[in-house]
Amino acid sequence: MRKVSVLGMTTLLLFGSACADYSERADVQAYIDELVEQHDFEREELVALIEDAERQQRILELIARPAERTLKWHEYRDIFIEEDRINQGLTFWGENQAALDAAHRQYGVPPEYVVAIIGAETRYGRITGRFRVLDALTTLAFDYPPRSKFFRSELTELLLLAREENINPRSLKGSYAGAMGYGQFIPSSFRAYAVDFDTDGQRDIWENTADAIGSVANYFSRHGWQSGGDVVLRASVTGEDADPLANKSLSLNHSVGELASLGVRVGENETVSADTKAALFRMETEDGAEYWVGLKNFYVITRYNHSRLYAMAVHQLSQAILERREGVGDSNDAGFDPNAAPAA
């Protein structure tokens, strides 16, 4: 008897995980009611769609371990700023120069930053995610309580996006968190910031590099990118007053002058004015802490991913690609030394 009951339970568990039907859950039905009422979706279509959504245990495992919180700066840096990603960035730049130049003219965002974002996000379109976005967002919306509100909203955005763009939502692939295409836009970002940059009538961030480039540049522009502005400045700190301010916030809660009065000095060649809004960052490296002063454009990069490590990696990757492209060799304002030995 015992053996039979164990087998029965195993069968039930397998059945339950493989065939879990979201459309039969009361919370999902309430969500469907809401969508029908608020956005005029056809109920039958929504039910059929949600019936096709599959719960993915792997997505729940992945969402629970964000890398940014566990890596030190030099470990994080070494993932993003390495030979392949720099060289592939040069190639991507060469292949897409016209679109990158057009995006620079229209949005004021230099090519190296657009290239670096796409390189950091997906290795220039090589790794854009293999999950069905419908599965990812449904799984997280209904089986990941800490962020269910956010992911329900993104699932709604996905359905609206699919209707507006005349795309079958079952066909879209992306990351475990529902980020899509070259620049990894979540559905709400797609709806708000994606552009049809090659004007062929479709906003295609999955296959069309011109649209992907224009969309990233537009995202930066709409978040306040300052054309010609600095991103982040290497700083030296004397005394003990400034350090407690470091890494407190991504927001620019100080001014360059205020930081200077606390012992923070940026490079002598910098012409940044004392009233420029700024934030102080401390980055842990193999050789101890580095201090950096982030400016408005640094903050804008953190609107893409709310992490100082991410923004610094994008900045330094952009400078490494730019330097390689210009053939400058080993001079290096960003503190990145392409010839440095990798971290142990």
**Binding site residues, Ca ion, CB under 5 A:** 196, 198, 200, 202, 211
Encoding tokens for residue 57?
């245990």
Encoding tokens for residue 334?
């960003």
Nearer to Ca ion, 210 or 320 (CB): 210
Dihedral Cα 293, 294, 295, 298, nearest 10 deg: 160
- Token look-up 């290239």 returns 115
Q: In the bound complex, what is the minimum distance in angstroms from residue 200's beta carbon to Ca ion? A: 4
Active-site option among 54, 112, 121, 290: 121
Nearer to Ca ion, 161 or 266 (CB): 161
Q: Pick left, alpha or beta for residue 123 (phi over 0 → left; psi -120 to 50 → alpha; otherwise beta).
A: left
Nearer to Ca ion, 215 or 318 (CB): 215
CB atoms within 10 A of CB 79: 13
Q: Which residue is nearest to Ca ion, using beta carbons?
A: 196
121 given a catalytic annotation: yes
Nearer to Ca ion, 75 or 198 (CB): 198
State the Cα–Cα distance between residues 212 and 219, nearest whole angstrom: 11
Q: In the bound complex, what is the minimum distance in angstroms from residue 207's beta carbon to Ca ion? A: 9
Q: In the bound complex, what is the minimum distance in angstroms from residue 333's beta carbon to Ca ion? A: 36
**Phi, psi dihedral angles at 266 (to 5 degrees):** -95, 170
**Phi, psi dihedral angles at 290 (to 5 degrees):** -110, 145
Instruction: Show which residues are catalytic.
Output: 121
